[in-house]
Structures are given as structure tokens and as C-alpha cells.
Structure 1
Amino acid sequence: MDSIELLLDEGSEQFITGEWEALQAAGLPSRASHRSPHNRPHITLVAAPAITGDRDEQTGAGLNLPLAFTCGGLLLFNAGRKGYVLARQVVCTADLLMLHRRVHEAGAVAGAASTSLPGSWIPHITLANAVPREQLAAALDVVGAPMPGGSIVGARRWDSQARTITGLAGLTNMTCG
């Protein structure tokens, strides 16, 4: 799955990676176990089977960064037999919603995930995938502290087939093996 993602300031990224590490240390599922160089805390704007680079310049130009953000509570997404996705909810401000809409106006993305479309977008920062039901209470205990507010400082496009990251704002391009 390809994506366009927002990147967090250093303090926010450290807070989230600290939560990843705490979950892992507790023997629970965590994004810390995902060892790819592209794995870092982010807010997904669009996810789809393929997102081509023909919209990169227009997408990057529509981003007005840095942008303050805050997190609300914790979210659970049902992942079927795998359990649940545990995430921090990102509060939808008018500026964040406008940024999201601008990215979508830069060009339609075929097959975009419903949770990334305007009107039904659920902005979040994933902490763990595939948390079994019987481990939910323990995982919630580990990540229960509120997250301080932060800033969105960059954006990137992840191409899952080519395994490349294209910087759209505040980031350089890279290949991930």
C-alpha cells in the first residue's frame, strides 16, 4: 500500500518511538518491531494501492508547514482475526482538515482507503498492529499517558513497490532496500 504521510517534529517522534519501545519491552505488539528504514511515526493523509509521482510537486506546494497538532485519546481499529490496531487520535483542526483536502485536490488517487478520504478521514499515529483482544488492557496501560502537543514538519510519499520515499516537504528522498 502506497501512502502520503505527514512527519512529526523531533520531540513528538521521540515520544511515539518511546511508546513503541515501551510496548515492545512489555512483550506486546509494537511498531518498534518493524525494522524498515522508512518506519517512523507519521500521520497518513492518503493510502492506496498505488500513488504515482505525477502529483508530488502540486502536493508539496499545497502544504503549509510547520503545522501544530494535538492528540486526543487512543483509538482501536478492528484488524479482524489479527486483533486490533492501537493508535493515538490526532485532533482534527480546521488547518489540518484544510491541508488534508488540499492533498486530495492535487489529484484523485484510485482505490484510496476509505479512512483516508475527505469526510471520513481518521487522522492517527499508529502505535501497534495486530494487538490480540486479550492483550488490549495491558497495551492501554503502557501507553496511557497523554501526549504533549507538537508540530507537523514534513511530508513524504511512500512507494511500496519501488521501496522509495519521496520528500514532498521538509525531507529528502531515499531508497529503503
Structure 2
Amino acid sequence: MVAALELYLDVDATRRVRTLWRALEAEGIPTLASLLNDKHRPHVSLAAARTLSPAPIIEALDGLPVGRGLTLDLDFVGQFVGRVLWLGVTPTAELLKHHAEVHARLAAAGVETWDLYQPGRWVPHCTVSMRVPNPQMGPAIRRCLEMLPLRATVTGAGVTDHANGIDVPL
């Protein structure tokens, strides 16, 4: 499974992403809303790994207001191999600097994360679906584009591993 260090969006942006999830679900496209019994909330992951222990992350990031106050502009739609559909976050200098600081602190504390989330490789995104059926990818992309652009403010962060019951706010 996947464990992550997640950034959470303000109430309005969260509502809009959840509305998108419901619209796609109504069209038979599975989203994060139906994955793991609705445990997911709209987010942007700063780091991910097979497992993450919250305690070392909390200690490593002590004193850093992880993500809080960052403005995220979700302006495009993207896909990863495996039929993963997401809303793309414009990678601003402020966001990339914050991401690099988080990873420097995690690395110094010995917290290992996947290479794809490392500075220089990370693609900031808000996942919509992990498995869009191939025939429905076009309609799913069009539905996503209908709700963009979306500006969000990061209001919180947390370490999650929903498959193992971990959801610890920072």
C-alpha cells in the first residue's frame, strides 16, 4: 500500500474536488472517494513510501508549518502510467522550496521516501482516480477540465497510511 505526507486543501477547494469525485463516481469511474471506504480526502502528497512512521516525521518537521498558507493553483489534468488521473498543481518557486526543505529534513532524520517524490522528480498533483477504465479516460479528463482552474490554500498536513489505520495530523 501507500503511506504519505499529505497537504490538505481549504474547505472550498475540498468541496469542489469532492464534487468532482461524486460526478465521476456517478459515471462509473472509481475515484479516491470509493477507495478504502471513503477514508481519503483531497490532498497533495509531499512524500510517499510503502510505509511511514509518524513519530520520526513529526520530529523531523518540528517547527516547520508544513504547507500551511501555501497557495496551490490546480490548472491542468494529467495521467500517470496505470490509468492514474490527477489535477496538476503549478510548481511555483515557493512550493518547490518548501518541498525541498521538507525532504532535506526527512533525509536528515533518516526517513526514506520514494524517488518519484524527491526534489527534482516530484510532480505536484491531487489524485482523482487510481484506475480509470481505458474507455472512460477521455470523458474523465473532460469532466476534470470542467472544474478547473482551482485555487486552494493549504490549511493542514498529516501522515497517512489508510490501509493500516494511520492518520496523524501535523
TM-score of the two chains, using structure 1 as the length reference:
0.84
Matching of residues 84-163 of structure 1 within 5 Å: 84-108=83-107, 109-110=111-112, 112-145=113-146, 146-160=148-162, 162-163=164-165
SS at match of 2:157: strand
Number of aligned residue pairs: 163
Q: Which runs of 5+ in 2 are unaligned?
A: none
TM-score of the two chains, using structure 2 as the length reference:
0.87
Separation in 2, partners of 1:73, 1:147: 7
Moved over 3 A (4+): 35-38, 159-162
Taking structure 1 as reference, are residues 162 and 137 closer, same or farther at Cα in structure 2, changes over 3 Å only?
closer
Alignment pair present for 1:26 and 2:27: yes
Alignment pair present for 1:74 and 2:77: yes
- The residue that corresponds to 2:63 in the other structure is 61
Contact map agreement 1:38 1:165 (CA 8 A) in 2: no
Separation in 1, partners of 2:38, 2:85: 21
Q: Which runs of 5+ in 1 are unaligned?
A: 169-177
- The residue that corresponds to 2:166 in the other structure is 164
Separation in 2, partners of 1:149, 1:42: 13
Post-superposition CA distance 1:107-159 (Å, at most 9, x none): 2232x222211110011001111112211111122222213211011010114
Post-superposition CA distance 1:69-92 (Å, at most 9, x none): 10121000111xxxx111000111
Alignment pair present for 1:13 and 2:6: no
Separation in 1, partners of 2:163, 2:131: 23
Post-superposition CA distance 1:47-80 (Å, at most 9, x none): 112222223133252225211110121000111x
Taking structure 1 as reference, are residues 60 and 166 closer, same or farther at Cα in structure 2, changes over 3 Å only?
farther
Greater Cα offset, 132-141 or 10-19: 132-141
Separation in 1, partners of 2:67, 2:98: 7
Separation in 2, partners of 1:61, 1:159: 23
Separation in 2, partners of 1:85, 1:64: 24
Separation in 2, partners of 1:51, 1:87: 23
Taking structure 1 as reference, are residues 37 and 60 closer, same or farther at Cα in structure 2, changes over 3 Å only?
farther
Separation in 2, partners of 1:125, 1:64: 14
Query: How many percent of aligned residue pairs carry the same amino acid?
Result: 29
C-alpha displacement at 1:160, in angstroms? Answer: 4.9
